[in-house]
Structure 1
Amino acid sequence: MASMLMVHMNPGQGETSYARNSSLQNAEQKRLKPLIEAAIVDFCTSTGTLLLTKMVVADLGCSSGPNAIALVSVAVETIHNHCLRFLQPPPEVCVLLNDLPGSDFNTVVKSLDTLRHSNCEPIVITGVLPGSFYERLFTSGSLHFVFSSNSLHWISKAPEDLTRNQITAYDIDEHIRLQRRPMVIEAYAQQFRKDFTRFLELRAKELIPGGRMVVSLAGRDSDVITPKFSHLWEFIAQNLSIMVLEGVIDKAKFDSFYLPVYEPSDKELREIIQDEGSFSITEMQVNEPPSGPDSALVVPSRFVNVIRAVFEPIIVLHFGQVMDEFVRTLERRWSLEGSLQDEHARNPRTTVAVSLRKA
């Protein structure tokens, strides 16, 4: 799969690393905490798992930095507290983190070591599993809980309908672009449907009966896509198209660039889950992005670093060392077309979170 080679966040601890520029993702993880706690308590209560001697917890698309163990830490703490409440010995917990092979697993392993030695109970065994969550990762019926945050909007590859017919994702000619846009968006939507259905099928095989899954991903708050709304891949492509017109990057390179990202609506997500049939929906939320004067969404320099932390590896792999010029073009665009706040007003970013129970 193309994304297995391309998609990873900026590694290390530098100024533009994901580890130092993932506060938005961390805010979304905090929103998942009540869903994770409720899923674990309900699982333990409804299935009598106080007698279980071991549990397996997995985070898929963990990335790197301080966020890597956030969700599994909530799970371990909740399991421990639930057992304490009923004066039962806590089970041994196996924590497994997964991401694509290109991720910075050095920082992931350091985070896991911190989790493993943070307290004596429950006993926590940890491990790292590189690979795509669009493939089988675990043995059948081996998992109790699965979590994923800020990852599932990454699709497995560029839409085949576009690449096979050499249709550009974002045509520089505005007339052609507007004419093709519905078809291009539908191609991305179909690829997402195919991938997310596959994700559900695989996790259904790996979870035990009654196992729980809590996931969140970038989405949108309406099933209707207005002409002014742009998906994340369109937002990036708009900036790159300016660089083509200015002669910074080659047009042929631009025409062959497909960012493998799609933001579904909650309605789309619900339909896919219901059609696949392996899970029932316990709760679904559509959340507005975190706000406040210190948010990266309103501080241009911080938002630029967030963009670099997430998209620099894939852009550089395709176009070469153009990221500094990409940033200058982005900042110049904001100064001409309005502020960063205006950009977010035109394209409000939401997240869709869903808690699932395996049938």
Structure 2
Amino acid sequence: MASQHEQMVHMNRGQGKTSYARNSSLQNVEQNRMRLMIEETIADLCSTSSLFPRNMVVADLGCSSGPNALALVSVAVDAIHSQCLHFQQPQVEVCVLLNDLPDNDFNMVVTSLVAFQQSKKSVVTGIVPGSFYGRLFTSGSLHLVCSSNSLHWLSKAPEELKRNQIPAYDIDENVRVERRHVVIGAYARQFRKDFTHFLEMRAKELSSGGRMVVSLAGRRSEELASKFTHAWESVALVLSEMASKGVISKEKFDSFYIPIYGPSDEELREIIKLEGSFSIREMQVHEPSSGSDNMLITPSKIANLLRAGFEPIIVQHFGSSGEMMDEFVRTAERRWSKEGSLQQEMARNPRVTLAVSLKKVV
């Protein structure tokens, strides 16, 4: 997950029932859908070179922790080994590097990495803590960069909203509607700045012809409803209900900004084109529930998924304990307890996942 300077951004640690490790099944579905893109990218990297590569460096940015941390690099390593067999070449030495912010649960990641290294031949591994909005690797050292479900996290919430004391999500619906274009516009500008910076950094670190396969939460360009909603609308709705009932301070709620923005596929194309370091090989738009078991989409499941992803940043701001987060889950479940209410809310706030395969052109 991407960085922030002031807010602590990481998923819930450990393996308990509220941990990200136990509540990341929807993210895993998206990683599975990236498999073919990664396999095709590896095939391309191995076949376009005049000499079969002797070693390859693969990095996953925003790896988080739990069962998903090694999913993408595992696909890449298997694909590299498969290409070696296909071309009857000796096994390529593969270096796998995992990145996330320093607050990530790296203890859990290291345990997984040791087992991974033992099970895969010719693989060396490493961990690189830090923000992917800055430099992480030496120039021209990477062959493939992967990132799943991370790049919608911004480096920080928009300063202009904080400076002008404009709440990201006003409890008063009329004021909220009136200011929506200002709020969403500020978030869009922050995303453009951050994503451009991300592309610039990776262009320096990737070798000539290096590749990236990334996915992030977003929206469809033609989806009008989503133009006027936050990527974190569901979290805001639950917290605003808690603020209205006095469970959390309204003043604190008004100064709460989650650094997330879900761009449209059109926005993403435009930013990549303007930055100029990469060509788009393929872009896919995935519905959030397609390819996953629809039984996963229950009020309880979604409430716990939100808790696993947002609890650290919520607790840091509101200065509360796990008790407040238990109330967050109860409020969410009550909100969606009426038949079809969760589906209606999701329809009003349509989200998709954008997956894109890029090739370095400069």
Q: TM-score, normalised by structure 2?
A: 0.94
Question: 2:348 corresponds to which residue?
Answer: 346
* Distance verdict in 2 for CA 1:85–1:338, change over 3 Å: closer
Check the 8 A contact 2:148/2:214 in 1, yes or no: yes
Question: 2:245 corresponds to which residue?
Answer: 246
Deviation at 1:212, TM superposition (A): 0.4
- SS at the partner of 1:318? helix
State which drifts further: 310-319 or 199-208.
310-319
- SS at the partner of 1:64? coil
Q: Distance in 2 between matches of 1:206 and 1:4?
A: 26
Deviations 1:309-358 (A, max 9, x none): 10111111111222111112112222369532222232232100000000
Structure 2 counterparts to residues 183-198 of structure 1, below 5 A: 183-198=182-197
Question: 1:98 corresponds to which residue?
Answer: 99
Deviation at 1:239, TM superposition (A): 1.5
Deviation at 1:46, TM superposition (A): 1.1
Q: Distance in 2 between matches of 1:59 and 1:84?
A: 24
Structure 2 counterparts to residues 305-320 of structure 1, below 5 A: 305-319=304-318, 320=320
State which drifts further: 154-163 or 326-335.
326-335
Deviation at 1:4, TM superposition (A): 6.8
- SS at the partner of 1:90? coil
Q: Distance in 1 between matches of 2:206 and 2:340?
A: 48
- SS at the partner of 1:144? strand
Q: Distance in 2 between matches of 1:264 and 1:296?
A: 27
Check the 8 A contact 2:154/2:191 in 1, yes or no: yes
Q: Distance in 1 between matches of 2:206 and 2:62?
A: 17
* Distance verdict in 2 for CA 1:290–1:227, change over 3 Å: closer
Deviation at 1:269, TM superposition (A): 0.3
Q: Distance in 2 between matches of 1:155 and 1:228?
A: 18
Q: Distance in 2 between matches of 1:100 and 1:88?
A: 37
Check the 8 A contact 1:286/1:350 in 2, yes or no: yes
Question: 1:175 corresponds to which residue?
Answer: 174
* Distance verdict in 2 for CA 1:135–1:266, change over 3 Å: same
Q: Distance in 2 between matches of 1:285 and 1:292?
A: 14
1:333 aligns with 2:332: no
Q: Distance in 2 between matches of 1:3 and 1:105?
A: 19
Question: 1:30 corresponds to which residue?
Answer: 32
Check the 8 A contact 1:43/1:49 in 2, yes or no: no
Q: Distance in 2 between matches of 1:22 and 1:168?
A: 29
* Distance verdict in 2 for CA 1:59–1:292, change over 3 Å: closer
Deviation at 1:262, TM superposition (A): 0.5
State which drifts further: 328-337 or 230-239.
328-337
Check the 8 A contact 1:296/1:306 in 2, yes or no: no
Q: Distance in 2 between matches of 1:143 and 1:119?
A: 19
Identity %, equivalent residues: 67
- SS at the partner of 1:10? coil
Q: CA RMSD in A?
A: 1.8
Gaps of 5+ in 1: none
Q: Distance in 2 between matches of 1:3 and 1:305?
A: 26
Question: 2:211 corresponds to which residue?
Answer: 212
* Distance verdict in 2 for CA 1:283–1:293, change over 3 Å: closer
Runs of 4+ in 1 over 6 A off after TM superposition: none
- SS at the partner of 1:41? helix
Q: Distance in 2 between matches of 1:17 and 1:83?
A: 38
- SS at the partner of 1:87? coil
Check the 8 A contact 1:230/1:347 in 2, yes or no: yes
1:221 aligns with 2:220: yes
Question: 1:132 corresponds to which residue?
Answer: 131
